[in-house]
Amino acid sequence: MEVTLTEDQEFFRETTQRFLDQKSSVSVVRSFRGHDDGFERDYWRQGAELGWVSLLVPEELGGGSISGRGVVDLTLVADAFGSHTAPGPLLPSNMVAAALARSGSEAQRADTLPAVIAGEIVPAWVVGPPSGGTVTSGVTASRDGDGFVLDGVQGPVEAAAQAELLLVTAQLDDGLAQFLVTPDAPGVTITRLDSIDLTRRYGRVQLEGVRVGADDAVGTPGEAAADVDRLLQLALVVQTAEMVGAAQVVFDMTLEWMFDRYSFGRPLASYQNLKHRFADMKMWLEASHAMAAAAARAVQEETREAADVASMAKAYNGQYLPELAQDCVQMHGGIGVTYEHDIHLYLRRITVDTVMHGSPADHRQRVVSLREVA
């Protein structure tokens, strides 16, 4: 999150925080363990009313930002999602809304987009991790008359089994394409996966000879690489902000523990070995805040280096924040690896964010590829 927010942003942040304090308390999050969907539809619609899915969509298409900088505004929600390990399909909803706003047809913008913004439709974003300078997909598309046939497997895909709509990224022989597919279309099989997050659900999407029409395409088939890359950048902004939001809570709760826990007649906070590890963690945490904010700014402004900075933010936060969380577990001792303690809620969220949409290693290598092209 930026060091200073505008008044409107501060108000928006507080509203979301208050809402989540109530609707996504630790006990609520815990109650979703084993729940099929990981969130309630009412909750998601209420969140959407607060503006959670409108921020990347221009006003004339029914969206709207808080500050005129919707990408930056979205990091306020993502940060709060991290600090509450909140339920709900925040990332896929915003990615699909952004895709439709950017390249959707008139009909898609008129019929589908408003329902996504309102939280009435839960979408899933079916896409593979980046490899080098491009985004991959496990799905191929082939032309068939006026339409296309989709085949392949992709997963884990967030909220796949909960979604009413899939935005499928597919590899055409001449480039990337994006299609809207309904999960009940013939040839679509979605397998629920066991998620390590208490509320975030994933599925594996299998497509076998799934037929889509030309009007199901989002943007021009074969020419979607730039659109998909933009979505990846946006996804990285959401992820890195959410990770640092979660890591901040882990850090704060562990710091408090250092003062409260005594051994050998003195607080843990008085041991130089632990103090120095906290100094390192503070550095990682502040640098992660800085990288998340830098990524949001660059992606917001669509600077030439936006892809670079977004990937560097993922590479940095993805390398150091899981370590921070695990070291905080270590500082708790035995209680830190129990289900009873809350620290694992955040470790889970940081972990799923780290591995989805490209690992830190994927993004380190992507940074080099992007620089070679430049």
Partner 1 sequence: MTATVQAEELESVESFRERAREWIQANLAEGSHGFGYRLNLTDEEELADVARQRDLQRKIYDGGFAGICFPKEYGGLGLTPAHQRAFNVETVGHEYPWLLQVPTFVPCAAVLLEFGTEEQKQRHIPAILRGDEIWMQFLSEPSGGSDVAGALTTAVRDGDEWIINGSKIWTTGAYFSDYGLCLLRTNWDVPKHRGLSVFIIKIHQPGIELHRIEMTNGAREFCQEFMTDLRVSDDCRVGDVDDGWTIGRRWMFHERNSMGGGSPYVSGPPLREGPPEGAKDQLVKLAEANGTIGDPRVRDLIGESMTLTRATTELSRRVVEGMSAGTMSDNIAAVTRLMGGMTGVRRNTIAYEITGPSVAASVEGDPGHGTGVNWLVRQSACIGGGTTEMARNNISERVLGMPRERTHDKDLAYRDVPKGPPAKS
Binding site for partner 1 (CB under 8 A): 3-4, 255, 258-259, 267, 269-270, 272, 275-276, 278-280, 282-283, 286-287, 289-291, 293-294, 304-305, 308-309, 312, 315-316, 319, 361, 363-369, 371-372, 374
* Closer CB to partner 1, 78 or 315, in the complex: 315
CA angle 156, 160, 162 (to 5 degrees): 140
Residues 234 and 143: their CA atoms lie apart, in Å, by: 29
Closest separation in Å from C-beta 343 to partner 1:
18
Q: How many residues does the chain have?
A: 374
Q: Which residue type sits at 254? A: T
Closest separation in Å from C-beta 10 to partner 1:
12
Closest separation in Å from C-beta 39 to partner 1:
33
Closest separation in Å from C-beta 130 to partner 1:
12
* Closer CB to partner 1, 153 or 255, in the complex: 255
User: 248: alpha, beta or left, given left = phi > 0 and alpha = psi -120 to 50?
Assistant: alpha
Helical H runs in 35-107?
41-49, 70-84, 90-103, 106-107
SS3 245: helix
* Closer CB to partner 1, 5 or 118, in the complex: 5
Closest separation in Å from C-beta 348 to partner 1:
25
Residue 57 φ then ψ, to 5°? -110, 130
Residues 104 and 290: their CA atoms lie apart, in Å, by: 33
* Closer CB to partner 1, 17 or 46, in the complex: 17
* Closer CB to partner 1, 33 or 275, in the complex: 275
SS3 308: helix
Q: Is 209 exposed, middle or buried (0-12, 13-18, 19+ CB in 10 A)?
A: exposed
* Closer CB to partner 1, 337 or 368, in the complex: 368
* Closer CB to partner 1, 8 or 256, in the complex: 256
Residues 213 and 208: their CA atoms lie apart, in Å, by: 15
Closest separation in Å from C-beta 295 to partner 1:
9
Closest separation in Å from C-beta 363 to partner 1:
7
Residues 311 and 306: their CA atoms lie apart, in Å, by: 9
Q: Is 187 exposed, middle or buried (0-12, 13-18, 19+ CB in 10 A)?
A: middle
